[in-house]
Amino acid sequence: RDFNRILTLASIGAYCGIGTYSSGKTLPWNKQRRFIEQCKELCRNSKWWGVLSRHAVSFDPSIFTASNDSANENLEKYCRDLIWNAATSLDVEIVMRLSSKFAHAYGLNKVFPQTSLVEFLLSSPKKMDTSRGSNCESDIRFDLIMTESAVRLCLSYLPVINQSKVLRKCLIDLERDSRASRDYDRHTLVLTLYSECLGKLVTRKETRVKALEAETLRVQRRFDVLALLSTTFESYPWEKRPEYSKMFEPLPLDPFSPPTKRKMCSVLGFEESGDVFDPLAPLHDILDHSGANSMAGALASLCSMVQLPPGYLHARSLIVRFRKLRGSSDGLPKVESSVIPVIKKLVSPADKADLAWWCSSQYASGSVEQLHCLDLAHSNATTASEEIESLQGRASKEDERAALDRVKRIDTARAILSDHILVDKVLEQNNSSDLVQKVYKSIIRKVQKVSAEKESYCPEHFVRELLIEGSLAAALASLDDCDGFTTVHFRSLAILVHDACKLLASRYTHIFVGRVARILARRWMINGDDASDSNVDYSSMKTTDLLANSDNREKKLSDALLSDEGEITSDFVMDIAWTSDLDGVDANGLISNTHRGGENPGIIASEEPSALNAMSSLRESSEHICSRVALRIAFLICFAEGYHRNKESIAEEFGDENIHCNIMVDRSNAQTKTKGIKQSSQKDGCFEGHLALEHARELLGVVFAGQGSTVASTCGFLLDEYNSSDNSFLSGSVNSTVIEDVRSKNKALSFAMRHRALRVASILCPHDVILRVILEEGYATGVCDDHLNKYAFGSFVAMEIEAMGLPLPHSDLVQLSEMHFPSFARTIWRNHGGGSYQGFTGRLHLILLELCVSDRDSIDWELLILVFKELMRFELPRSLILASECVAKSEAFESAISQNREDVILCVEDAVNTIVRLLGHEIRSNLSGGIEMNVPQCSSTVDRIATIVCSIHNNPLLFVSEFTDLAHECSERGHREICKCFIEGASSISSHLVDPSAYSKALNIIRQYGEGYECIQRNLSVLKTQQSKDSICSEAIESFEMAFSNRVP
């Protein structure tokens, strides 16, 4: 790399070949011509190597001796690097002479130095800000006046065609350089020089003339935009200026070939696709600041310059402003002051419709502003569609389809929103509690979401979803003991939902709310709500995520035992011969456990895996489902307009009094919302209008259906032509509806359906109306309250037996209700008791227990003991809780005490001990495993166990100690809420202790916890209040719909 030394040696070698002595005689190497040429070439190369090194140009010396195309390309690169490096420190003329000598020395194109120098002069300096470094002052490019003079000097050495080529390349490179995107003056200089050059070009070919004109237009548009930007943003800081180069697509590489353009953006912009070009995107930051309206006005002419329709800039300004306001807490401006002025500036009706449609999505859902935007969008979309149609085939199929889809989409959204606003007005017309309004608003949100997700909007679907979601929300809230949702709230919510349906029916005359309600009632009455509508997501509802697994589990088990279409309750007659050939029957006619082979005692995890989770028990989950279905059906039909087709005949009998008053108003205890019929003669708050009578006649016709009845023969009111002729809009397809109707009509009437009907009747119909219908229709004679209790219990027993796939002695409810239940229980036990019965073990033993204690005068004590022993053997905690509650409430325990049945008392107490042992084991397992526990479930379970202990256990103090121990362990693991549940349970038990010594011990145990003493005092206060109320109140004031017998859960 010592190029001076190389130069010296090469010079000596060359002189030896051509030089002479002082005497004039030539040197002896004059004949070494090849050597002399090599030395001359080495002298030339070494000179340029030194020049390149001084200007920091990296090179490969071997390239200078090669003679191929690759070598020429490298030499051109060296020349270009020499120009770009030298021009930052040397005068332009010096650089041009130096580069020209280099090109001449190595045979490069003679215009290459001038071309490269122009490219350098018109490129962007490395530092585009106002602060300049040490070498910025010597860079001529920072002085655009000197730069222009230098460029013109270089261009004077080039032919016009070469001028146009180099200037076009400079323009393309400058627009690609992001550093120069805000250097408006430099872009203007390049465009000026290129425009002048284009004016000098002359061509005679028509295609080239058109290409030249197109190129001139492209340059002129850039000129205009630069002039506008330079004027508008002259005082703006460099970093605040819009990036000019991003407002245009790059120039085509070949100006004479057709350009490949991307699709221009729509009026909305913000397209993320690479196939769409948005020339207004660089202005978003400018339009985002205050004063965007004045800025949009100043830049309005920019649309035509970038080949966008008029008004696009104002539309983009509105969109950017709306996005900013949506991200902040500020509200959006009114449509009249913001959207309409912008829409007026647009020309195309399609653009107007799209902008109004987008603005509607920004306003609050259900607001008047949103509807106003949709009205604007709909009118303009219709105009755009009419314009497409007026072209009579000249428009493309894609444009026609897009116009029709736009109208359809906007019309659907407009109809949904209009109906949504309509149903919102119901809240203004009714004075409802905050709780009811909250539930109603959540229903409307869900219904609106479901309607918006459908491809096409149908008002009938809207009504249907209102009834589905409304009934589900009301039922779940009623079954939740923690939210305080009473019958008054249930009635108020039903009024709101049905009033909303009536408003929709008044707007759309083809909607019949009664028909919709009847179709849904039919499906839920026959199949239950879990099979009626697939788009209802029960998992998202309160308390139902606990039911998801148990519902499916019960359905799978019952499907294995029951035929889809068969009737299992109409062909069986009790046969005493069942017991004739049985081995292992004890003296009491009961089968011993030792003869039940194959069963493994212990926890049946798949049947009742948790003592805390109520829905882990098939019995409790089934009861929850049955109650939910009954409440939903009652919600459907209570205020449904036109539900009864022939109501005029009954209206003549009763008049129009209380036409809509068919739900009881009062409910005194939320914990007994879904219980069975109990004796009640109170009429205050009940309504005996003609609708209640019609409900009772139809529902009780199902309850007391005769042997061999089918759905079609008994429930014609649900399957008449009024419903089945045109309900495809409710079920999704005509074929599925027809098949469903045929199957439903031929399906045997199940006791599950009868029990649902009885529960619905108990919710909707007053006590006296039910008695009257039973007598008038001849279902039974001499009916009194005791008979109603038997019918309720009989239907429940039949439903449970049927669900487990066991035979029934009759299909007639009246006969079933009059049979001797303890004997029936003994018969079932002989055939199916004493073992694990296909997943229904707990459920089977519970119904046996309820049967054997149903008659106080003939309680089967041996069977009762065996049932409890089996439940303890299988360790079914939830079933044990239910069994203990049944014994405590049915007076069986008092009878055992009066009859001195120590074996029964000890067995029941052992069951309570087992419950607490299983509960403690689960709590400790959850604590050690880090498993989260549900506080409301734990509180409810502990409270129920405490009530059982206070009712039937001889030593409650043991449970106070056990509960406090569990509370201590929970507290140590950080489960404060679970700890409080056990402290409350221990305090509840202590407050019922009557022995002073026991109470003192319990108080000392609980006092170690800060809240223990307060809990005891609070429970004592509640207990005193209940005792004072019990002395002056009677059961007659309880509402009829919660009046089911204690024997029925």
Q: How many CB atoms lie within 10 A of CB 779?
A: 19
End-to-end CA, the chain: 103
Q: Does position 14 have pLDDT exceeding 60, yes or no?
A: yes
Q: How many CB atoms lie within 10 A of CB 528?
A: 19
Q: Which helix (H) or strand (E) holds 578?
A: none
Token pair recorded at residue 504: 């929709």
Residue pLDDT, tens place only, 262-284: 788 888 887 766 678 889 989 98
Q: Give the residue among 655, 646, 662, 657 at the shortest CA–CA distance from 696.
A: 662
Least confident window among 496-500, 541-545, 718-722, 733-737: 541-545
Task: Report the alpha-carbon distance of residue 181 to residue 967 in Å, rounded.
Answer: 71
Rg, Å, the chain Cα set: 46
The pLDDT value given to residue 886: 92
Q: How many CB atoms lie within 10 A of CB 201?
A: 14
Burial of 881 (0-12, 13-18, 19+ CB in 10 A): buried
DSSP one-letter code for 235: T
Task: Report the alpha-carbon distance of residue 121 to residue 130 in Å, rounded.
Answer: 18
Q: Look up residue 968 and give its amino acid.
A: H
Q: How many CB atoms lie within 10 A of CB 728?
A: 15
Task: Report the alpha-carbon distance of residue 896 to residue 902 in Å, rounded.
Answer: 7
Higher pLDDT, 635 or 273: 635
Task: Report the alpha-carbon distance of residue 777 to residue 772 in Å, rounded.
Answer: 8
Task: Report the alpha-carbon distance of residue 409 to residue 466 in Å, rounded.
Answer: 22
Q: Does position 578 have pLDDT exceeding 70, yes or no?
A: no
DSSP one-letter code for 181: T
Q: Give the residue among 851, 933, 907, 847 at the shortest CA–CA distance from 882.
A: 847
Collect all residues with Cβ–Cβ distance below 8 Å to 767 and sequence separation of at least 6: 680, 681, 682, 683, 686, 785, 788, 1040, 1043
Average pLDDT over residues 294-307: 88
Q: Give the residue among 125, 235, 145 at the shortest CA–CA distance from 188.
A: 145
Average pLDDT over residues 390-406: 84
Rounded to two decimals, the pTM is 0.66
The pLDDT value given to residue 711: 58
Q: Give the residue among 943, 1000, 1036 at the shortest CA–CA distance from 671.
A: 943
Task: Report the alpha-carbon distance of residue 649 to residue 473 in Å, rounded.
Answer: 34
CA dihedral 1008, 1013, 1014, 1019 (to 10 degrees): 130
Q: How confident is the model at residue 836 (pLDDT cuts 50, 70, 90)?
A: low
Higher pLDDT, 92 or 10: 92
To which residue do tokens 């506008």 refer?
228
Q: Does position 889 have pLDDT exceeding 60, yes or no?
A: yes
CA dihedral 619, 625, 626, 629 (to 10 degrees): 180
Q: Give the residue among 175, 79, 81 at the shortest CA–CA distance from 123.
A: 175
Task: Report the alpha-carbon distance of residue 916 to residue 881 in Å, rounded.
Answer: 10
3-state SS of 882-900 is HHHHHHHHCCHHHHHHHCC
Collect all residues with Cβ–Cβ distance below 8 Å to 55 and sequence separation of at least 6: 81, 82, 85, 86
Contact 654, 645 (CB under 8 A): no
Contact 686, 1041 (CB under 8 A): no
Contact 944, 889 (CB under 8 A): no
Collect all residues with Cβ–Cβ distance below 8 Å to 26 and sequence separation of at least 6: 19, 20
Token pair recorded at residue 1010: 């800060």
Residue pLDDT, tens place only, 693-736: 888 888 998 888 876 566 555 555 555 444 444 444 444 433 44
Report the percentage of the chain scoring pLDDT > 90.
Answer: 27
Residue pLDDT, tens place only, 929-939: 889 899 989 99
Residue pLDDT, tens place only, 638-664: 888 888 764 443 334 334 433 333 333
